[in-house]
Structure 1
């Protein structure tokens, strides 16, 4: 007889009970201790509505910044029944979203954007296997040195086309910048070359993004806080919201599906070099692709376009606005360009290390008006403790990038556009790294923008070539008086300047010749 078989149950039973008691005790201690911790400070909330009545419809980052002066850099607030933590400092953002990224990398549920409008993109996706899969695809496309180097000719070609359009139609500079960023991303992602400002795929995508923004943006509609409203009957009064959502959803689906379908169709005739073309070929089995893989590939493509186009164009429009308002900065830029590059050629990537003032201007563009002042919301996956405060699981976490960009300990007189702040040789190296706005505007942790280097390179090339070839000045009114455009910006998710007038002209006939040579070379 096997004695162990008889004895084992009697040994294992009390052992199992003991382990269970330890686990339950640990859970109880953790739960009660976390509940005993107080929440971070914040404005007093009202029953049911929370703090929603204290938030403006636009420029909420400024309201959070003002709250920070009273409550500190970590603020607790409630939007209806939803807990929200606002981080107003780089230190807090790094402590949570980078050092504890495993708990702070998910996204809240966006009922309007995802369920109703159909934005099935990595940008809005909860953290998990699917998001890691799509992020790896995008990282392979936009972070490998070999891949980035292969895109330089595309970027330079699109730069040359913007310069040519500025010579012919400078008043439409905002449209040209949107086409510039859209063209680069469309070609790398789908292999489609945009040849006009009225390109079909660009037009569909722009309409989808524009109508989505009009719909209130992420998390700003009541349906995100009361999901039952998504079932509101179309025939009842007040259902205009549902009808508008249905119309916008068609645009969103066209944006996601049309370029993907174009790639698949062209693949039937042979290879189609692009990120999406490569992924489709990689996942084809017996001439078919699974529904799951197809949805992921579509979403990856839409992620790149929707996330990258608006931000790059916004930074370029801010550049023009600042140069019109502060011509002394533009004069210094051109003096540096003329000294290190000269008049016989146009700048290239290799010239960047020789243009410190231009690099400082780009940094200040990122800082002065961050293109996404509140970034994109994260979600806290599980209860946590930070600085003795209880951080509740499932809370929305907002990184107030604009407030970080206004930190006077790093940026004295932050309201001023001042590139010289990055050029002080006496600044300690540790502070130089901390005050680099590139560490803020591209996001944090596992949700940081995977296309950061591609976007930054495109902005550098565009700024450098405009400096080398164009004069920028103020427009004049009917009385011949110069018009200084106000520093006013849209109050939506992104921070593009409100439309303004200016004068953009070629610096010389030699500059026009160089632009033509660049076009022919690419």
Structure 2
């Protein structure tokens, strides 16, 4: 049965494959008329390019292997798509920042329907009016929230998180993603109970936009199978409809609360509604559905991105602390010296550089976006004498960039001292300010140029409070098997392989650092029960 289905799918894909083959032959004819400069790269094969041995999982490791052979900028192909892989910060800056007016497009993600048009996925749209309007609004909303350090929601949710960890530490991975989802859902609509749904929705979206997700993202001709026989298309239609309906429902619930005067003014929904009332004189907030969809997607996607960009790094941070007890102890000694018996807050940021260094090093060591987010050439260009055609995809491969020996010595290993000691290339002073995620060395994790992520500020706050508070509360270590007495190994490179990573499930033990600390954790948990929706 499965063999028959595979054969049917292959025959349905043949017309597109033949079209790609014709394009390839025509391209070869042009090349034989005269030698043209090109970037180095792995050997390409007829029609398929190099797609046949490019893994769908952990693709960045293959790109690093090729970079070691072919250099900091090379070219490869998959079917009729050209990719330029960049492994050098200066080259990435020259292309994606200085020439950002050329390289700020987004490629078509085949299994994510109409994402380039909008309004559902602002970070994945082309640069048009919908994108500009949403990005401008989100930038202002995020900046205002950062000015108030996100209104204390990060610290309050952290007290809840620590309490849950004390009661059932085996669920630490679930609690970590839910923590991120609750913070964002509280900021978006004042409904932290949506946190778990928010995390799950983000995970499904990432699946559909990743090369490790639907096979139609790599074998794109399969996408054109008629819809009635196309399981990938049917799944995506259903998933996106459910996500949009969820965003729109939360938006309308918030609007009803705004009309009743019950919506807190520290939410992004309140900010949007208040602007509608003030700037348009629309006091009743009556809107056509098209405007509601635009705004609900804008706030919903801002909410979603804040989950997926932080959850993975926090899970890797917990892993790093368990695997490097010497750095765990250095952080805890620093926290005890600065904070004593109280849980750290954002006010302690200047005085905890070791904690910040471990957080920053986590994101370098196990990047949440190891391939980088793809840019697409919006018109023809030339770089270093090589013609780059419109629609070529540029990948500034984060995994490679973070391992350039001159900038990041011993790049495969977890070395937080690179951010703390003047002898390392990445050191910056003063340590009351650096390292951080907002500015300074190693900021390419958040993208390049006009497509830079707007979330550096919330990443700084949320990761710092999480890292400092979890180390204040618990001592962690890899799990010991109760039957054999041996440590359960952790594979630090086992991930979901999405565009934005989370590690695969791993096992660790968390114990309160003392009986007194356990008491303080419970007191903190009970202190927020009355104000948090649980």
What range describes the TM-score normalised by the shorter chain of this pair? Answer: 0.7 to 0.9
2:114 counterpart of 1:110: no
Q: Tell me the CA shift for residue 256 of structure 1.
A: 3.0
1:277 aligns with 2:275: no
* Counterpart pick for 1:391 among 388, 392, 401: 388
CA distance in 2, matches of 1:174, 1:430: 32
Following superposition, the deviation at residue 351 of structure 1 comes to 1.9
Deviation, structure 1 residue 73: 1.3
SS in structure 1 of the partner of residue 192 of structure 2: coil
Deviations 1:209-234 (A, max 9, x none): 33444446269757568877655334
Q: Distance in 1 between matches of 2:69 and 2:369?
A: 24
Mapped to 2, the partners of 1:309 and 1:391 lie a distance apart of 35
| Structure 2: distance between partners of 1:497 and 1:437 | 25
Which residue is equivalent to 1:498?
A: 504
CA distance in 2, matches of 1:330, 1:213: 31
The worse-fitting range, judged by mean Cα deviation, of 73-82 and 282-291 is 282-291
Task: Kindly state the Cα deviation for residue 151 of structure 1 after the two structures are TM-superposed.
Answer: 1.3
Counterparts in 2 of 1:397 and 1:224: CA distance versus 1, 3 Å: same
For residue 37 of structure 1, report the CA deviation from its aligned partner. Answer: 5.5
Residues 173 and 191 (structure 1), Cα distance of their counterparts in 2 relative to 1, 3 Å cut: same
Unaligned runs of 5+ in 1: 1-34, 195-200
Q: Distance in 1 between matches of 2:173 and 2:427?
A: 37
> For the residues of structure 1 that align with 2:381 and 2:356, how far apart are their CA atoms?
39
Q: Deviations over 1:289-316 (max 9, x none)?
A: 2455333312211222221212211111
Root-mean-square deviation (CA), in Å?
3.0
The answer to whether 1:311 aligns with 2:305 is no
Residue in 2 that maps onto 1:509: 515
- 2:493 alignment partner in structure 1: 488
Bigger CA drift: 486-495 or 355-364? Answer: 486-495
- Are the aligned partners of 1:174 and 1:313 in contact in 2 as well (CA < 8 Å)? no
Once residues 318 and 437 of structure 1 are traced to their aligned partners in structure 2, the CA distance between those partners, rounded to angstroms, is 21
Per-residue CA deviations over 1:480-502 (Å, capped at 9, x if unaligned) read 23334232321232332221221
Equivalent residue pairs, number: 479
Q: 1:405 maps to what in 2? A: 402
Structure 2 counterparts to residues 286-435 of structure 1, below 5 A: 286=282, 287=284, 288-342=286-340, 344-427=341-424
Structure 2: runs of 5 or more not aligned: 1-33
SS at match of 1:471: strand
CA distance 1:390–1:430, change in 2 (3 Å): farther
Give the drift of 1:119.
7.8
Mark the CA change 1:463 to 1:249 in structure 2 (over 3 Å): closer, same or farther. same
CA distance 1:111–1:473, shift in 2 (3 Å): closer
TM-score norm. by structure 1 comes to 0.84
Contact 2:111 2:232 in 1 (8 A): no
Distance apart, 1:452 and its partner CA? 0.8
Aligned to 1:142: 142
Give, in whole Å, the separation in 2 of the partners of 1:349 and 1:280.
29
Question: Is the 1:116–1:245 Cα contact (8 Å) retained in structure 2?
Answer: no
How far 1:276 sits from its partner (Å)?
A: 2.2
2:457 alignment counterpart: 453
Secondary structure (helix, strand or coil) at the match of 2:485 reads coil
- Check the 8 A contact 1:148/1:454 in 2, yes or no: no
